[in-house]
Amino acid sequence: MDSPRCPLTDSTPSLLAQGYAWLPDRVRRAAEPFVRARLAGRHAVALRGPEAVRFLYDERHVRRHRALPEPVKSTLFGHGAVHTLDGQAHRVRKAMFLSLLTDPGRVAALTDRTAEAWDEAVERWERQPRVVLFDEASRVIARGVCRWAGVPLDDAGAEPVARDLVAMVDGFATPGPRHWRARAARRRREAWLARLVEGVRDGSADVPAGSAVEAVASHRDVDGEVLDPRTAAVELLNILRPTTAVCWFVAFAAHALHRWPGNRARLRDDDGAYAEAFVHEVRRFYPFAPFIGGRAVTDLTWRGEAVPSGALVLLDLYGQNHDPDLWKEPYAFDPRRFLDRPPGRDELVPQGGGDRALNHRCPGEDVTVSLLKALSTRLARLEYEVPAQDLSIPLRRVPARPRSGVVLTGVRHPSAD
Ligand code: HEM
């Protein structure tokens, strides 16, 4: 087999300029689900499809160590995060997340805390002329997850905390001012939570027994040692930050209810199966995580294509969620596609693929689905107007969001009429 040639031109500027469209465009031009590129000076290959999921998540092929660029670690995930670990070190750290995030009782408690915060917020929204749903949802969820996790937060604290948690997500994939805001937000919140962890350990901070803060503060890593306070803060943020980021999906759900209002009645009617299908379709249809990746640990072959040791191997999440080979009419928003059958493990991949206990698949999918079900249903039951505004979702911006943030006016609970 010929040794693979990495393109000479670096595609990083095109990726930054085109966002979500960059990889699917390249796949379309290549007329096959395999793309070779140079990214940040490195040889990269991009794959998609259930078979590609199984290939990439096999640690004999691809590992995460030294795969993530520094700007992503300094904003989105944090240095020393579970995302960057492999092998036994990864599995021991991952077990902590799974025990906190997949137990149905804990997921229900987090959903209840957040639903309470939503109901409190609605009382305020009814007295306001307009609300920006994206911003409001971020505060509601930040309040809910902090209450659930045992992070002390007074009412005035929710707004700056939500702003920082959103900033960390908003700025990971851009070189501009959003990026510097993300770095500053991470530094601030790591310092804040590291102090809390130290307080829990020396007894000066009182947090509920069994809470996420207590679990992270007392977690022992593969070496039998507790995490240093900064890494413990990084991992606490890896619970608070992505949970708050469900506000992106809440804004997308509002967008879908506005564009395709037929969904509203079935959500209002407490149709649990439909609500779940709606949530999966929101996660499939709208753009959020564009791709994930790691480094080839040895010379590999993918469907006859050589992948040299050290190359970046990317899984095209957005492309796979819109792949016509997997989804009938992929650009139609249609929750009914999930009514007949639940999503296949390695087909629907907005939060990664594979087995969440063994690899890097997101441990927060149950939380995401549960929160989004509860909040979409509540949103569908509210009455409000959607005044003229720019609801476009430019795919050049990563992470994408409706430009206006989804402005609602005249919010009222139907019972108030
Ligand atoms: C807002 C919706 C969410 C999206 C779009 C999302 C997406 C993702 C993606 C794409 C990955 C990487 C998978 C991989 O590298 O293979 C991931 C990993 C992760 N997510 Fe999520 N996630 C979301 C919500 C959550 C929530 C609610 C939590 C926790 C409460 C969470 C915690 C994590 C953690 C800790 C990892 C690292 C797992 C590991 O490396 O083993 N995520 N997520």
C-alpha–C-alpha distance, residues 139 and 237, integer Å: 15
- What is the band of 4 on the pLDDT scale with cuts at 50, 70, 90? confident
State how far Cα 208 lies from the chain centre: 27
202, pLDDT greater than 70? yes
Give 10's DSSP letter.
B
Q: What are phi and psi of 274, to 5 degrees?
A: -70, -40
| Residues 236, 214 contacting (CB under 8 angstroms) | no
Domains of the chain (ranges; CATH) run 12-416 (1.10.630.10)
Token digits of residue 232: 């413990």
pTM of the predicted model over 0.90: yes
Residue 415, pLDDT score: 63
Span 284-313, average pLDDT: 96
Residue 416, pLDDT score: 46
**Gap from CA of 242 to ligand 1 centroid (Å):** 7
**Which long-range contacts link 362-368 to residues 24+ away (Cβ below 8 Å)?**
362/242, 363/94, 363/97, 363/98, 363/101, 363/102, 364/97, 364/101, 364/239, 364/242, 364/243, 366/101, 366/102, 366/104, 366/107, 367/101, 367/107, 367/110, 367/111, 367/243, 367/246, 368/246, 368/249, 368/283
417, pLDDT greater than 70? no
Contacts of 166 (CB under 8 A, 6+ apart): 138, 244, 245, 247
* Closest CA to ligand 1's atom 8: 351
C-alpha Rg value of the chain to the nearest Å: 21
Residue 53, pLDDT score: 98
294, pLDDT greater than 70? yes
Instruction: Give the number of the atom of ligand 1 that is nearest the alpha carbon of residue 243.
Output: 27
Residue of 150, 111, 196 lying closest to 375 (CA atoms): 111
Percent of the chain with pLDDT over 70: 99
| Residues 107, 78 contacting (CB under 8 angstroms) | no
Residue 340, pLDDT score: 86
Task: Name the strand (E) or helix (H) holding 140.
Answer: helix 133-149
- What is the band of 236 on the pLDDT scale with cuts at 50, 70, 90? very high
* Closest CA to ligand 1's atom 18: 362
1, pLDDT greater than 60? no
Which of 85, 351, 369 for mutating ligand 1's site (highest number of atoms within 8 Å of CB)? 351
As beta bridge partners, residue 408 has 131
Residue 3, pLDDT score: 57
Which of 82, 348, 362, 373 for mutating ligand 1's site (highest number of atoms within 8 Å of CB)? 362
Instruction: Give the number of the atom of ligand 1 that is nearest the alpha carbon of residue 359.
Output: 41
Rounded alpha-carbon distances, angstroms, from residue 277 to 167, 247, 306, 339, 400: 29, 18, 39, 6, 22
Token digits of residue 262: 């037929």
Residue of 7, 3, 41 lying closest to 26 (CA atoms): 7
Residues 151-181 pLDDT 10s: 999 888 999 999 999 999 999 999 999 999 9
The residue type of 356 is R
Residues in contact with ligand 1 by the CB-under-6-Å rule are: 82-83, 94, 97, 101, 238-239, 242-243, 245-246, 249, 288-289, 292, 350-352, 360-364, 367-368
Span 349-375, average pLDDT: 98
Token digits of residue 75: 């904003």
Rounded alpha-carbon distances, angstroms, from residue 365 to 54, 104, 203, 274: 19, 12, 33, 18
C-alpha–C-alpha distance, residues 67 and 85, integer Å: 10
| Residues 226, 217 contacting (CB under 8 angstroms) | yes
E strand segments, 115-239: 130-132
**Gap from CA of 193 to ligand 1 centroid (Å):** 20
| Residues 372, 249 contacting (CB under 8 angstroms) | yes
353, pLDDT greater than 60? yes
What is the pLDDT of the chain when averaged over all its residues? 96
Residue of 172, 206, 148 lying closest to 71 (CA atoms): 172
- What is the band of 116 on the pLDDT scale with cuts at 50, 70, 90? very high
